[in-house]
A and B are shown apart, each in its own frame.
Chain A
Amino acid sequence: GQNIDQPTEMTATEGAIVQINCTYQTSGFNGLFWYQQHAGEAPTFLSYNVLDGLEEKGRFSSFLSRSKGYSYLLLKELQMKDSASYLCAVIKAAGNKLTFGGGTRVLVKP
């Protein structure tokens, strides 16, 4: 089976930085995705990591350590519109299903 753990909720201030951690236990790991989901809307793709290291995309970065079963999503220069749930998801094999964690609800305060 797969265990994917991430914090339930985080609060941060506009302009600040927030780091959302995700740990996973799975066999046959083939990559990790991060999605953003605003309330009542579809999840939207943010990033994909398959090799160890940091992937940067504007204000968002994602890090992966395969040996530790660990990833984080870093959100910089937080804006009010970043208030959303952030979903960590693992893929075991090419084209196979994504298995999601429970999501981390981030609340950005002024």
Chain B
Amino acid sequence: DTGVSQDPRHKITKRGQNVTFRCDPISEHNRLYWYRQTLGQGPEFLTYFQNEAQLEKSRLLSDRFSAERPKGSFSTLEIQRTEQGDSAMYLCASSSGQGNNSPLHFGNGTRLTVT
């Protein structure tokens, strides 16, 4: 098991372009989370899935953001019409969801720079 993997590691895009990130969780984990982190801040929750169902979306997630987990395995996060304020590290995490204390395991993130 190689842990949570995210692709790409870095993405530079011009304002107005669309970008899509991929997350592959730990294989037996049924919960998958997306967070955003800016420099010097803690991760901010964006959305999470249990299997293929998207159970919660943050109010931070504008209409330009959409996430999917079509088969309950990998997930994608798409940002349409990117803005400079979208520049951040996008972190994916997964957990087994068994019991109250199953920790989230994070991937190394996708760093997005919007120019």
Contacts and interface: CB of A to CB of B under 8 A. Distances in A.
Interface in A57-96: 87, 89, 91, 94-96
Contacts of B103: 33, 45, 48
A31 B48 contact: no
A99 interface: yes
Interface string B85-115: 0000001000101011111111111000000
Interface in B27-81: 31, 33, 35, 40-45, 48, 50, 56
B91 to A, nearest CB: 7
Nearest to B48: A97
Q: Is the interface of B mostly helix, strand, loop or mixed?
A: loop
Interface residues of B, number: 27
Contacts of A50: 100-101
A99 B106 contact: no
Contacts of A105: 40
B60 to A, nearest CB: 12
B41 to A, nearest CB: 6
Contacts of B41: 102-103
B45 A97 contact: yes
A91 B99 CA distance: 12
Contacts of A101: 42
A103 B97 CA distance: 24
A42 B42 contact: no
Nearest to B92: A42
B44 A42 contact: no
A97 B105 CA distance: 12
Interface of A: 4, 8, 30-31, 33, 41-45, 48, 50, 87, 89, 91, 94-103, 105
Shortest beta-carbon contacts, A-B, top 6: A100-B42, A42-B106, A45-B103, A48-B101, A94-B100, A97-B45
